[in-house]
Amino acid sequence: MPEPAAAVTAQHPTLDELRDEAMEWGRKPRRLGTWYVTEHMVRAMRAYGWTIIVGALGQPILYLLGLAVGLAALIQAPVDDRGMEVPYLLFVAPALLMTAAISVASEEFTYPVMAGFKWRRYFFGFNASALSSPQIAAGVVVGAAARMLLTVGLYYLFIWIFFAWLHPGETSPGTAWLMIPIGVLAGLSFGIPLMAYAASLEDDKGQFALVQRFVFMPMFLFSGTFYPLINLPLWLQWIGWISPLWHASELGRIVTYGSWADEPLAWVHLAYLLVLAIGGFVVARRVFTRRLAK
């Protein structure tokens, strides 16, 4: 006995229904495109996962232990920081956390970006699907931020342990944890403009090595990491003024042992980091769009 026409229609969708279903599936990646790229970037980190874990665990232990047992043991006098006398280790620790985040940014926003455009070209594969260029750029940023969050989270844990052991009561437990989001913001404020630069490169001719030697290292040495910036001669202080590391370190010190209300420059530090991160992302989106359109 032949099937009713309604049953046949129910079992076999029309061409319009198939087209609507295909369009719906084509729209789904666009709604979650950033997270698909983030998932890929995080999964790709498994290739050097042990390096990430060992670095995230080993760096704070070596730095903090070396300073606590070595340099801080020699520097018995407290550091005068904006009219407050604090132990040397307490002064240095927030800057080391910010440096760790920026160090991660210098890794994740250079060679992986170059690989996506030139060596492995997976960005072009993403762009050939329903993912847009801005989503690809945003996914790279979120993936790197996830690694920064792990790094600064572990760094903060070790700082808290050292402070509780060496200087109980010196920190502000209600606000010291803010070093974690500030550290992530520090990494993004340095890394996103670097990502825009990396995305614009056609070939690797040692540019990233030059960035490490002539941008990252001077920033690390002359941004008030190991001593107040005011101790430097005036003709060197400008390096700290334009450095995201100095602004982030000052914010980290404010939330650790200072008072946000008593520091009018705190909002200037925060605004500077946000301008670098947001402005860098605007430029990076344009570079990704132009590069992937070729």
Higher-confidence residue: 125 or 86? 125
Can you read off the two tokens belonging to residue 227? 């001593």
pLDDT confidence band for 9 (50 / 70 / 90): very low
How many domains are there within the chain?
A: 1
The answer to the question of residue 26 being in a domain is: no
- Helix 244-257 to helix 88-108 angle, to the nearest 10 degrees? 140
Q: Which of 61-65, 134-138, 210-214, 281-285 has the lowest mean pLDDT?
A: 61-65
Q: Which two three-digit tokens encode residue 224?
A: 């008030």
User: What is the model's pLDDT at position 170?
Assistant: 53
Chain mean position to CA 189: 7
> Is pLDDT above 60 for 27?
no
The tokens describing 146, both together, are 């996830």
Amino acid residing at 133:
S
Instruction: Output the pTM of the full model.
Output: 0.85
Quote the pLDDT of residue 54. 80
The answer to whether residue 19 sits within a structural domain is no
Q: Is residue 1 part of a domain?
A: no
162: containing domain: 33-292
Q: How far apart are CA 187 and CA 159, in angstroms?
A: 18
Please report whether residue 183 resides in a domain. Answer: yes
Kindly report the number of other CB atoms within 10 A of residue 199's CB atom. Answer: 25
**Within-domain flag for 4:** no
286 with 199: CB under 8 angstroms?
no
Question: For the residues 283-290, what does the mean pLDDT come to?
Answer: 95
Quote the pLDDT of residue 184: 97
Highest mean pLDDT among 12-21, 45-54, 100-109: 100-109
Above 80 in pLDDT, residue 122?
yes
Q: Is residue 2 part of a domain?
A: no
Average pLDDT rounded to a whole number, residues 99-125: 93
Residue 15 resides in a domain: no
8 pLDDT above the threshold of 50: no
On whether residue 55 sits in a domain, the answer given is: yes
Residue 287 corresponds to which tokens in the numbers above?
């570079």
Look up residue 63 and give its two tokens: 């730095």
